[in-house]
Structure 1
Amino acid sequence: MNVKITRTLTSAAVLAMAGAFGFAASASADPAAINGTYALRGGNDGAVVTVVSACDPVVNGCTANLTSTRGWTSVATFTNGKWNFTVTKPNGIVCDNGSYAPVRIAYSVDAATMAGTMTADSNGDCPGGQITQVPFQLTKIG
């Protein structure tokens, strides 16, 4: 009977260790730090974006500061495998009445592929806007 109990305990210990190693392996699969310079392709922007983050490893809640060659800045937050940020372009649209209004564009980027979606209201703060989504890609260039 002692042999059977010992084998059961040994099997349980091996399974527990395998589970612990499996967890450690998945933790090492966290996304790499996003720091660098990226070309933004798609969505009519054509910006080059410099990204600086102190998060390493990258986990939910990490933030990164973004600065673009188009004059906008933003702070991205990492949540569930995606970097999310919003850009407000002042006077980004002319309303029907001739006034200017800001346009807010929400970006969501998959941390593994750096492919994402931009979502914007076609009329910014003007009445009657239409929500549109456009795919884009961030390509590391530096």
Structure 2
Amino acid sequence: MKLVVTRTLAAASAITAVAVGLAAPALADPPLLNGTYAGGDVLNLWTIATTCGTSGCAGTVSSNQGWTVPATLVNGLWNFKITKPDGAICADGSYAPAYISLTLDPATLAGTITTDSNYDCPGGTITQAPFQLHQVS
């Protein structure tokens, strides 16, 4: 009886060792951004505060230019949109909000800025341009 129990324990230990050895690596923590960042122009600073929990990742981006917007993590990239109400004057004289969408890679601090040449007015052309941040504090 003792021999059977010993063999059973040895087999269970071997199976456990193989299972641990073949287990997939744990997922890395989501990439957070926390601090003050600048682009080429150090006069325009962004303070970014992010966190992740059981319901996902979120944060805020605040500028020393007076705006604060929410940020979300989607497919490993931080996304946020700056909206300036009545930020554009349309050809017909009406006002429309100006939208600027940004996507930022937290690992490289490289991003893409997407704008519409007419913002929310009809007839614009959507353009994308790269940008690069660096952490200042």
Scaled by the length of structure 1, what TM-score is found? Answer: 0.74
Q: CA deviation at 1:123?
A: 0.3
Pick from 22, 26, 38 the counterpart of residue 25 of structure 2. Answer: 22
Query: Is there any run of 5+ residues in structure 1 with no aligned partner, and where?
Result: none
Runs of 4+ more than 6 Å apart: 5-8
- 8 Å Cα contact 1:31-1:111 kept in structure 2: no
Q: How many equivalent pairs are there?
A: 132
Per-residue CA distance 1:89-132 (angstroms, 9 max, x = gap): 22322322333321111111112112111111110121101111
- Give the match for residue 123 of structure 1: 118
Secondary structure of 2:25 counterpart? helix
- Give the match for residue 62 of structure 1: 57
Distance 1:88 1:139, change over 3 A: same
Query: Is there any run of 5+ residues in structure 2 with no aligned partner, and where?
Result: none
Scaled by the length of structure 2, what TM-score is found? Answer: 0.76
Q: CA deviation at 1:136?
A: 1.2
Q: 1:47 & 1:33 partners in 2: Cα distance?
A: 21
Per-residue CA distance 1:20-79 (angstroms, 9 max, x = gap): 4722xxx3x32443111011349xxx73111123x25x7872111111122221100112
Percentage of pairs with the same residue: 44
